[in-house]
Amino acid sequence: MTDDTTLDGYRIAEEPTYHADGDEVAFYDAAYAARLPVMLKGPTGCGKTRFVEHMAWRLGRPLITVSCHEDMTASDLVGRYLLGRDGTHWQDGPLTMAVRYGAICYLDEIVEARQDTTVIIHALTDNRRILPLEKKGELVQAHPDFQLVISYNPGYQSVLKDLKESTKQRFCAMDFGYPDPAIEAAIVAAQAGIAEDQARRLVQIAGKSRNLRGQGLDEGASTRMLIHAGRLMGAGLDLRQACQLALITPITDDADMRLALSAAVDACV
Amino acid sequence: MTDDTTLDGYRIAEEPTYHADGDEVAFYDAAYAARLPVMLKGPTGCGKTRFVEHMAWRLGRPLITVSCHEDMTASDLVGRYLLGRDGTHWQDGPLTMAVRYGAICYLDEIVEARQDTTVIIHALTDNRRILPLEKKGELVQAHPDFQLVISYNPGYQSVLKDLKESTKQRFCAMDFGYPDPAIEAAIVAAQAGIAEDQARRLVQIAGKSRNLRGQGLDEGASTRMLIHAGRLMGAGLDLRQACQLALITPITDDADMRLALSAAVDACV
Amino acid sequence: MTDDTTLDGYRIAEEPTYHADGDEVAFYDAAYAARLPVMLKGPTGCGKTRFVEHMAWRLGRPLITVSCHEDMTASDLVGRYLLGRDGTHWQDGPLTMAVRYGAICYLDEIVEARQDTTVIIHALTDNRRILPLEKKGELVQAHPDFQLVISYNPGYQSVLKDLKESTKQRFCAMDFGYPDPAIEAAIVAAQAGIAEDQARRLVQIAGKSRNLRGQGLDEGASTRMLIHAGRLMGAGLDLRQACQLALITPITDDADMRLALSAAVDACV
Amino acid sequence: MTDDTTLDGYRIAEEPTYHADGDEVAFYDAAYAARLPVMLKGPTGCGKTRFVEHMAWRLGRPLITVSCHEDMTASDLVGRYLLGRDGTHWQDGPLTMAVRYGAICYLDEIVEARQDTTVIIHALTDNRRILPLEKKGELVQAHPDFQLVISYNPGYQSVLKDLKESTKQRFCAMDFGYPDPAIEAAIVAAQAGIAEDQARRLVQIAGKSRNLRGQGLDEGASTRMLIHAGRLMGAGLDLRQACQLALITPITDDADMRLALSAAVDACV
Amino acid sequence: MTDDTTLDGYRIAEEPTYHADGDEVAFYDAAYAARLPVMLKGPTGCGKTRFVEHMAWRLGRPLITVSCHEDMTASDLVGRYLLGRDGTHWQDGPLTMAVRYGAICYLDEIVEARQDTTVIIHALTDNRRILPLEKKGELVQAHPDFQLVISYNPGYQSVLKDLKESTKQRFCAMDFGYPDPAIEAAIVAAQAGIAEDQARRLVQIAGKSRNLRGQGLDEGASTRMLIHAGRLMGAGLDLRQACQLALITPITDDADMRLALSAAVDACV
Amino acid sequence: MTDDTTLDGYRIAEEPTYHADGDEVAFYDAAYAARLPVMLKGPTGCGKTRFVEHMAWRLGRPLITVSCHEDMTASDLVGRYLLGRDGTHWQDGPLTMAVRYGAICYLDEIVEARQDTTVIIHALTDNRRILPLEKKGELVQAHPDFQLVISYNPGYQSVLKDLKESTKQRFCAMDFGYPDPAIEAAIVAAQAGIAEDQARRLVQIAGKSRNLRGQGLDEGASTRMLIHAGRLMGAGLDLRQACQLALITPITDDADMRLALSAAVDACV
């Protein structure tokens, strides 16, 4: 069975820009060569999703991304019977499609999902590489090109909601953080379509905001938020207005913290 | 595919009156120009819904509004299979309609919804701008005119029920409060169809009621409640009766607080 | 579309007796004239339901009453798809029928319902006056005669189960209590079909029982219980027997409280 | 519509023996004459169910009994749509059958049921006497002969699980307890088919067991348990053996309590 | 209607070995003669299930056994509608089959089941002997040969999960424990097919293990575990190996407790 | 009925490498000879699954493996009715297939499953060896070759989630741990395709990591993780990189613990 048409909608046509910040590409290449499952660790909006898109493009593989959530069940991943004119027929879920036809399957924030979704991947992540479709009574042997990738934000997990040790141990893991300032400014300039010096000022502000983490802020401004601010500047707002809208008001309602962030902006104008 | 007919029921034919009280229109224009998702922050009944209606009218876009609640699931937003004469067929939910045909989608009090509804919007609010219909196996690329707007009342959120940091960071945010007294009086007079000086007296009473917030009242009288009182006066009640019915009895059962509010009314007759 | 036949079963043919005890009729008239939603506040069995019936009769509008409960969902109010010979077809719920054809809809003890039922009414209770049938993809614009009424017992609400502030603020509110003794005696005499002096004795007993509220009784005897006692007397029991059956045994199992209530009865024989 | 055939299975052909122990028959007659709902209060196994059977027989009315439980929903009482060859059709539940065709409906231990079942009876227990079938969109006006009866064990209710005050107030209430010793002995002798003096000994033992209530026993031996013991004696066991099997081993595993109960038996041999 | 064929699969063809250890057979005979429901009390694996099988064989009645669990609902016992070619049809559950055709129904560990399953048996366990199939609208009068038996492990019940007093009082109860050593050795020898002296050594070891109950062990070795050990010896393991596999490793992971149990084994080799 | 074709997909064609580390093969042989159910106890990734695969191959039996999880119900194991063109038809679940046609059924981490799944196996694990399909009304007598195996990780169980004593007592149990260093190095070399001395270094590192268990690590590196590291070395990474990716980043985010583990790696380069 060829995977050429089924997964066509999941192929990445153009190279997603990605500015490497270490050995992550070589590491991922090795893990994919060994077809080992990979876990990407790092905070919100630092570029994990973009990295997977870049690697899928680089390796010429289709990419199926699933944002996990509290009410997601194994059936949402694996598939289910639907009722049609002639009774029920089976419909593959996104994970089954990836397993069957050879895509990279990216489960974003898998910790959010219900436990049955994390157990369903066990037989896929050891030497068996099979996906049991229990409701259908089928064992799907993974396509040679299939790989599983998950993301994980260590800052978020609580005791009640964490990956089981027996799940963690099945993955190779790579750390991600915010990029080096020069690289981050290049990313922001490129993706928001603004001048490099404007982007550098946004990165400076982000740095100050990240230092406030844990002192009243849950997280500092992410690269994504800087791109938002840059795009608002492209749409005609000045730096102060753009930072107010994109970097300050979204993340805090505390008056003191807002003052501190505004001062950080003023210092960079 | 044209959106001219599908969303016709969601177009706003007449200009919704809106009295701007700052830069909010310019800010929103920039966010829409950059197609960034927007979060409106502020208390109940201060005009957030009306502002979105005004902007949708101004931008000539259809508006699909969804009031979120505790039992709302991702399917309620995205769509579901219905069983018909020839088996199941898919029916787009309100969010999918907006994404597909290019409306502004306004999710009111999204924090109330179950978590799967907040995660479903992740891929819509980053550079991908896609809505995965997992149950249907379809990736909907957002229409160029689509925009997502949510509302958020900072005074209400508890630790247990708040937006995830990774959701907040995806939005530009704007603060809303009760309007300036002169503007509020104009709004009340216009919408309740009463004289300006009557409206001013209602705004004065509202001011006193808002000062009692946190001293026994959860919230003061909102602009909406003043319009209610005004309309009751238009239906023949006097100021005291109208305030009793619309401003006092609904929000408190505490005898002292009722006395304080009645005294505030008496002082303005 | 005419509402003459659909709601025929909900029209009130004969005038429900109601003894006004203040301005409540004028207040309600004004709220209905302005088509504002109304909240009736007061204890169990004091006549709130009868008042709505009376007003619906007076205004010549059909009345659809729904007793809310913990397991009631938005679908129970709004409607649902039913499976028929030719696939699913939509069936309007009681609220949708009222909205579409112009009835007064009375949601009794709405606080008991699940939160999705209270949010569903938001767009009905502001200037939009629309009911979104999300599952059907229809926006129902309220009939000009439609009005929403809810009841609320302030003595019952706990922190966990109360109307949200953003719901309360959408309603005009009116307080109800037990009627004035002379009026209450007239009501009991009329509805139980007993002599006025017997009714007066029952009202006297009720007064004593209401004074015990908070000293071991959750609530005193309601007007409805007095009518029950009166009807038992009409069926041949004497005052002591009737009060035992209808006023004392139902509300307490505490021996001291029963003695106190029996003494109150003896004092009125 | 006649009720002669539908409820035939619920008619009581032979008189259920019942030994009156006070005014309960006269009280019930009056409540039925006034068609008021009745609540029977008392401990397990003291004869409440038998009393209702007796009264239904006496009044010549069919009796529909429902044992309520934690997972019972309103649909279990009221009815539901079933899927047949030609789509769904409605099936009346036991309460609807009673309301429609004029039976006495006895809801045993209604406190155990989910709250929607207790609210469903509200409109049946005030002057409206209607049962709204919300899912079917039908208002069933109660048959003139219909009456609602519930049982309630005051010793069992916890704060979390009790009838709402607004439910209690809708019922006339009657207390039940274990019968007078002479009457109880007659009941046991008659129903177990043993000699009066054997029955008297069992009643003596029960008295001692009831005195231990609250001192390590949740409840003493009920009349039903005495009948069980009597029937075991009829099947060949001696008094000690029968009491062991029917009165002691079922209700306690505490060694001291078992000794105390055995001693009570020995004293009566 | 004859029960000869429907329940054929539930008839016990060969006598299940049972070694009586007291009056239990006579007691059960009397309870069955009076058709009273029976509760078997005792620890895991002491032979309660085998006793019921023996009695069913002795009385020539079919036996339907149901292992209860937390997710079991009344429908699992009573039956449900299934969807077939011509719409839904009713399928009797195991309890209904027993009631209708006259089997002994044994509900093993009924306390584990949801409460609706325990209430469903109420009308079966008093003088009515009926099973109401509420969903089907049928009252099944119990076959004259029907009897209900339940098991109950007093050591397991918590405050949260126990039989209601009103359920316990409906049953005759019999205590079970581990058999007398000589009898237990005979049972083990017979069922595992080993020599009597080997069986005696296993019983000795079990005695020591049972003495450790409450000192770090939840329960000692049951008769069933001794039979397992015996069968492993029959398959070639020596006493130490068999006890390790069947008596020690399954019940504790505590190093000290394992040492104590191993020493107990060594002392009996 | 022959089992030759139904279970063909579950036969193990090639011998799964397994390095015995004690008497486990002989023990398992005896338990299988006596057809006793077996429980494999031990930490994640130490080879329990591989051992069962080896034994199934050795005994020439098909193997059906089910990874249990929190949302797994009895129906997922036993089977369910599916709706087809001609109404519902029954589909055997994995356990039923094993029972009916004579496979070894391996329930991995059964403690994770809901309780109804653990009770369903009770009648399979005593002398009856039957599986009741309650929903289908069928009693499946186990095929003579059928055996049940479960895994259990003693380090994971909490008070809330543990096997019931009455379940544990039904199994023979065997302990598993990480293999002896020489054996483990041979396994890693063979399965990762690297040189023995490289494998020995990985085993050395694992030893140090296992010593940190309980001092900040939940579990040390498992054999599976060593194989992952080995395969990454095969894909071109050096020892430090491979250990970082496969042994350190996946299991801890603690900076000190990461330093300690890196130092352990450095000491073995």
Q: Which of D61-65, D217-221, E206-210 has the lowest mean pLDDT?
A: D217-221
Mean pLDDT of the C54-73 span = 88
- CA terminus-to-terminus distance, chain F: 59
**Cα–Cα distance, D237 to D229 (Å, whole number):** 9
Angle formed at CA D233 by CA D229 and CA D237, multiple of 5 degrees: 110
Q: Subunits that touch chain E (at least 3 Cβ pairs < 8 angstroms)? A: D, F
Q: Which of B87-91, D254-258, F126-130, F172-176 has the highest mean pLDDT?
A: F172-176
Spell out where chain A has E strands.
38-41, 63-67, 79-84, 87-92, 104-108, 130-133, 138-141, 147-152, 172-175
B66/C134 CB distance under 8 A: yes
Of the pLDDT bands very low, low, confident and very high (cuts 50, 70, 90), residue D161 is: low
Q: Show the tokens assigned to F143.
A: 């095929």
For residue E19, the model assigns a pLDDT of 82
Q: Per-residue pLDDT tens for D85-144?
A: 666 778 899 999 999 999 999 998 888 777 667 778 888 998 889 998 877 778 899 999
**Cα–Cα distance, C174 to C21 (Å, whole number):** 12
Q: Which residues contact B177 (CB under 8 A, 6 or more apart)?
A: B42, B43, B46
Q: Are C227 and C242 in contact (CB under 8 A)?
A: no
Is 80 exceeded by the pLDDT of residue D234?
A: yes
The residue of E169, E170, E171, E175 whose CB has the most chain D CBs within 10 angstroms, and thus the best one to mutate to test that interface, is: E169
Task: Please give the residue of chain E at the shortest CA–CA distance from D43.
Answer: E166
CA distance B150 to chain A (A): 12
**Cα–Cα distance, A222 to A204 (Å, whole number):** 12
Q: Subunits that touch chain B (at least 3 Cβ pairs < 8 angstroms)? A: A, C
Q: Which of A258-267, C96-105, E42-51 has the lowest mean pLDDT?
A: E42-51
D70 touches chain E (CB under 8 A): yes
Angle formed at CA B167 by CA B161 and CA B169, multiple of 5 degrees: 125
Chain B contacts of A10, Cβ < 8 Å? 139
Nearest one of F105, F107, F100 to F138, comparing CA atoms: F100
Domain boundaries, chain A: 3-175, 181-268
More confident residue, C54 or E114: C54
For residue B60, the model assigns a pLDDT of 95
Nearest CB among E45, E67, E245 relative to F119 is that of: E67
Q: Per-residue pLDDT tens for F119-160?
A: 788 889 988 899 988 777 788 999 999 999 999 887 655 445
- CA terminus-to-terminus distance, chain C: 59
Chain C contacts of B236, Cβ < 8 Å? 30, 33
**Cα–Cα distance, E232 to C137 (Å, whole number):** 66
Nearest CB among A85, A232, A242 relative to B87 is that of: A85
For residue F4, the model assigns a pLDDT of 58
Q: Per-residue pLDDT tens for B71-113?
A: 677 888 998 877 666 667 788 999 999 999 999 999 998 887 7
Mean pLDDT of the F228-244 span = 94
Model ipTM over 0.95:
no
Of the pLDDT bands very low, low, confident and very high (cuts 50, 70, 90), residue D156 is: low
Residue B151's H or E segment, with its range, is: strand B147-152
For residue B205, the model assigns a pLDDT of 95
Q: Are D117 and D73 in contact (CB under 8 A)?
A: yes
Is 50 exceeded by the pLDDT of residue E89?
A: yes
b/e F39-73 (16+ beta carbons within 10 angstroms → b): bbbbbbbbbbbbbbbbbbbbeebbbbbbbbbebbb
Q: Per-residue pLDDT tens for F24-80?
A: 999 999 999 999 999 999 887 788 999 999 999 999 999 999 888 766 778 889 988
Q: Are B147 and B105 in contact (CB under 8 A)?
A: yes
Nearest CB among B72, B232, B253 relative to C172 is that of: B232
Of the pLDDT bands very low, low, confident and very high (cuts 50, 70, 90), residue D155 is: low
Q: What is the mean pLDDT of chain F?
A: 87
What is the percent of chain A with per-residue pLDDT over 70, rounded to a whole number? 93
Is 80 exceeded by the pLDDT of residue D84?
A: no
Task: Please report how the helices F24-33 and F48-59 are oriented relative to each other, as an axis angle in degrees rounded to 10.
Answer: 50
Going by beta carbons, is chain E in contact with chain A, meaning 3 or more pairs sit under 8 Å apart? no
Chain A contacts of F241, Cβ < 8 Å? 23, 27, 30
Contacts of E198-202 with CB under 8 Å at 24 or more apart are: E198/E230, E198/E233, E198/E239, E199/E226, E199/E230, E201/E239, E201/E268, E201/E269, E202/E226, E202/E229, E202/E230, E202/E239, E202/E243
Task: Please give the residue of chain B at the shortest CA–CA distance from A223.
Answer: B169
Q: What is the mean pLDDT of chain E?
A: 87
CA distance B170 to chain A (A): 7
Q: Per-residue pLDDT tens for E14-41?
A: 888 888 878 899 999 999 999 999 999 9
Of the pLDDT bands very low, low, confident and very high (cuts 50, 70, 90), residue E84 is: low
Nearest CB among E27, E73, E83 relative to D83 is that of: E83
Give the sign of the dihedral formed by CA C210, CA C211, CA C214, CA C217.
Answer: negative
Q: Which residues contact C206 (CB under 8 A, 6 or more apart)?
A: C178, C184, C220, C221, C222, C223, C225, C226, C247
Is 70 exceeded by the pLDDT of residue A118?
A: yes
A144 touches chain B (CB under 8 A): no
Q: Per-residue pLDDT tens for F67-117?
A: 887 667 788 899 887 766 666 778 899 999 999 999 999 998 888 777 667
Q: Which of A113-117, B137-141, E233-237 has the lowest mean pLDDT?
A: A113-117
Is 90 exceeded by the pLDDT of residue D42?
A: no
**Cα–Cα distance, B22 to A130 (Å, whole number):** 59
Q: Which residues contact F214 (CB under 8 A, 6 or more apart)?
A: none
Going by beta carbons, is chain B in contact with chain D, meaning 3 or more pairs sit under 8 Å apart? no
Q: What DSSP letter does each residue of chain C carry, written as one string?
A: ---TTTTGGG---SPPP----SSHHHHHHHHHHTT--EEEE--TTSSHHHHHHHHHHHHT--EEEEE--TT--HHHHHEEEEEETTEEEEEE-HHHHHHHHT-EEEEETGGGS-HHHHHTTGGGSSTT-EEEETTTTEEEEPPTT-EEEEEE-TTT--SSS---HHHHTTSEEEE--PPPHHHHHHHHHHHHT--HHHHHHHHHHHHHHHHTBTTTBSS---HHHHHHHHHHHHTT--HHHHHIIIIITTT---HHHHHHHHHHHHTT-
Q: Does domain E3-175 have CATH number 3.90.230.10?
A: no
Q: Per-residue pLDDT tens for D11-30?
A: 988 888 888 878 899 999 99
A49/B126 CB distance under 8 A: yes
Of the pLDDT bands very low, low, confident and very high (cuts 50, 70, 90), residue A117 is: confident
Q: Are F157 and F197 in contact (CB under 8 A)?
A: no
**Residue where the block lists tokens 């197609």:** B35
Q: Per-residue pLDDT tens for C161-207?
A: 677 777 888 999 999 988 899 999 999 999 999 999 999 999 999 99
- How many Cβ contacts (< 8 angstroms) between chains E and F? 120
Residue D82's H or E segment, with its range, is: strand D79-84
Q: Per-residue pLDDT tens for A23-51?
A: 899 999 999 999 999 999 988 778 899 99
**Cα–Cα distance, B26 to B174 (Å, whole number):** 11
Of the pLDDT bands very low, low, confident and very high (cuts 50, 70, 90), residue A163 is: confident
Where chain B has pLDDT below 50, the residues are 1-3, 158-159
A190 touches chain B (CB under 8 A): no
Of the pLDDT bands very low, low, confident and very high (cuts 50, 70, 90), residue F173 is: very high
More confident residue, F135 or F189: F189
Mean pLDDT of the F235-240 span = 93
For residue A262, the model assigns a pLDDT of 94
Q: Tell me the H-state helices in chain D.
A: 24-33, 48-59, 74-78, 94-101, 115-119, 165-168, 181-192, 196-211, 223-234, 239-243, 255-266
Going by beta carbons, is chain A in contact with chain D, meaning 3 or more pairs sit under 8 Å apart? no
For residue C138, the model assigns a pLDDT of 84
Going by beta carbons, is chain B in contact with chain A, meaning 3 or more pairs sit under 8 Å apart? yes
For residue B173, the model assigns a pLDDT of 94
E34/D108 CB distance under 8 A: no
For residue D86, the model assigns a pLDDT of 63
The residue of A169, A174, A175 whose CB has the most chain F CBs within 10 angstroms, and thus the best one to mutate to test that interface, is: A169
CA distance F249 to chain A (A): 5
What is the percent of chain D with per-residue pLDDT over 90, rounded to a whole number? 52
Is 70 exceeded by the pLDDT of residue E161?
A: no
Q: Tell me the H-state helices in chain B.
A: 24-33, 48-59, 74-78, 94-101, 115-120, 165-168, 181-192, 196-211, 223-234, 239-243, 255-266
E33 touches chain D (CB under 8 A): yes
E71/F114 CB distance under 8 A: yes
Mean pLDDT of the D178-190 span = 92
